[in-house]
Amino acid sequence: QLLALDFARVWSIHHAGERTLLMMDNLGTHKCEDVLLELMRLHVDVLFLPPNSTSFLQPLDDILLAAFKKHLNYVALYDHINAINQGRAYTAQDFVNVIKQVEQITFTTANIRKSWSNVGLWPFRPDVIRERFV
C-alpha cells in the first residue's frame, strides 16, 4: 500500500490535476480504506484485477520481469567476473549499479507497451485474455 501511495504522490507532483489508473491485485492491504481514499484525493482511479487472474493479466509478469531477470543475471555475472579479473571484491554497490543499468535496458516504453498488448489489456483484446485464461 505504501508503494501505491508513493506512486500517487509522485504522479500528483508531475501531473497535477490529471487522472490516472492504477491496476492492483486483490491483496488485502491494497484495499485499505485510508489508502483508497488518499488515492482518490490524488486523482488516482484504482482497478482491481479479478481474483486469481494476476498470473495471466499482470503486464509486468509477462515480458518485463522475465527480461529484467535475464539481463540482470547476465550483466551481474559479467560485472562480477570483471571485478575478479581486476583483483577486487564485488560489492553491494556494484550490484546496485548493475540493477540501475538493467532497469534502463529493460523498462523501455516499447517493452512496457508490448507487455500490455501481450496480455490483452491495451489495446483491449478480450480474445487474447480468453486464450491466456484457458
87-124 pLDDT tens trace: 999 999 999 999 999 999 999 999 999 999 999 999 99
Whether the Cβ atoms of residue 45 and residue 21 lie closer than 8 Å to each other:
yes
Q: In the structure grid, which three cell numbers stand for residue 116, read together?
A: 500490455
Structure confidence at residue 1 as a pLDDT band (50, 70, 90):
low
How many whole angstroms separate alpha carbon 97 and alpha carbon 78? Answer: 13
Amino acid of residue 120: G
Question: What is the phi/psi pair of residue 36, to 5°?
Answer: -60, -40
Whole-model pTM? 0.71
Q: What is the pLDDT of residues 40-59, one digit of tens each?
A: 999 999 999 888 888 888 88
Q: What is the pLDDT of residues 114-125, one digit of tens each?
A: 999 999 999 999
How many whole angstroms separate alpha carbon 49 and alpha carbon 47? Answer: 6
